Structure 1
Amino acid sequence: MAGMSGRTARKVAVLMGGPSAEREVSLSSGRECAAALREAGYEVVALDAGPDLFTRLNDIHPDVVFNALHGRWGEDGCVQGVLEWMGLPYTHSGVLASSLAMDKTRAKMAFAAAGLPVVQSVIADRATVEAGHVLPPPYVVKPNNEGSSVGVYIVQAGANAPPRLSEAMPDVVMVETYAPGRELTVAVMGDRALCVTDIVTQGWYDYDAKYTVGGSRHVIPAVIPAEIAAACMEYALRAHQALGCRGLSRTDFRWDEERGLDGLILLETNTQPGMTPTSLAPEQAAQCGVSFPELCDWLVKDASCNR
């Protein structure tokens, strides 16, 4: 079952919610996608993904599953494996690309092998991180397998003491050299990089900045030199391809203006970007003339299994 070309999807199950730290964001994405797909003419069943997912999908018999899950289990290859087993075409990336992208260390290894610019990072247990500086400050401490800037600590230059991590942080974390500069992002739709957005915030682009009203401002297209915009577009497409992504992805960058092209660093690729009409990837699609219902419709038609 390679894809939906040659057949028409009538019934779409939209997976949303789930048990991850990004449940609320996923519920928002799922509701918006379900509404857009109904507008596009599909019969839609919205499904809060839980332990009975297999049984409920068996009862629904959808033609396609629209994956609007975020975070662990929903974008790390787990639910993708269930859908592969069931033989159900689904949107966004497959098992391998999803698991690679969610594991920040292995994703960076793939990026580096593809010649993409990344910063130094190490994996360490929380006791080691709290005992002393694992890398010279400034550096960032974050979970190795969460998205949406969940649980990010920034240790500033000159900091005397290492961070004290919350109990919610996993026992093993990534410690990464801090990349200064502007926050840029590029969405990739199939084999096309869309455009560059400059994300303007007061401080770090953390969970609250992403999802709180007024937490950030999007400048689209970004007002940056043509050379930097072209590099962002090229790197995002190469990252998408290096991980083996399909459908829609979004790659985030930091750019230090003082260093020019050498100051452009690839942070990570998100295989399940936020899917509300004002989220970054749909916003870029709209900038390129693709409405939100059209984007959701395209994702359904691009859905596949075993690809």
Structure 2
Amino acid sequence: MKTIISVLMVCNLAAIAANVKANPDVTSREYKLMLKANSFSYTNEALNVLELLDNIETTVESAISRNVTGTAKLSKVRDIKFYDVEKTCVLKHIGYSFRERMTGGNSEVTLKFRSADRYISNFENLSAISNQAESKLEADIGISSTSTFNVVYGHSTKVPNSRTINKMDDINEQFPGFQQNYAFSNSLDLNLVGNLTIREHVYKGVVIDLGKFDAEISVTLWYNAVPSGNQMPVVAEVSFKYEDNSADYTKKVVNRAKQSFEAIQGLTNWIDPNSKTKTKFIYDYNSSFCQ
């Protein structure tokens, strides 16, 4: 009897321990600034991006006395779609977004939850059935009307996708933790937010030497459908990020990152402090979608 009781106690303690969340590691930190979209055009976008990055290089190197190196190249061309329930926008309402990226005919979906509280964000169950699922807790750092350093924590999981997205079961069946928590009906229609398919161009190849970590700079341009001629993007963003699975960041790294972020904000010819973020642009594009 004592043996049985001891085994039960061990099992109970193990169960309790499994439910205890440790201090959540923020494995990625990304600093984002919206740009003046009319500073770019499809015909000249590579030259526009190089000019921007030349300005960033000069400004950041002066601010942190470290090198900014590399050459920007167009690294990603893909189509972006967001899905939600038309009229109610239940995903947005509970702090979620559901995004599909298409690259060369291959689909990948990402379920993401955002909160200003990293514990709340981390507690969301974003487990997926795919053995290729990738999850992370990321600090998204931007600016707001009242702050030059505004942090939101994004907890996300991305998986390869072979489904045609049109019903809530396209989320529920791939993310069982989400289904368990929210129990939305599988038959609930999912609609393309704003009826928008965005063509995304991402330039990479330039890094900031922060010390222990390098931060990779990305310039992201969103076009409404496939661009041509002198068409301007509808949204433009510059960001840089560094990652560590152990979240073992040093004081020098985070301070240099903040100084770099503040320095880039000073590029007033490029930065648009009043521009909408990418996700907000999607949801605001058609004002009747969520009503």
TM (norm. structure 2) is 0.24
Instruction: Select the structure that is richer in helix.
Output: 1
Which protein is bigger by CA-based radius of gyration? 2
Of structures 1 and 2, the one scoring higher in RCO (CA 8 A, sep 6+) is: 2
Instruction: Select the structure that is richer in strand.
Output: 2
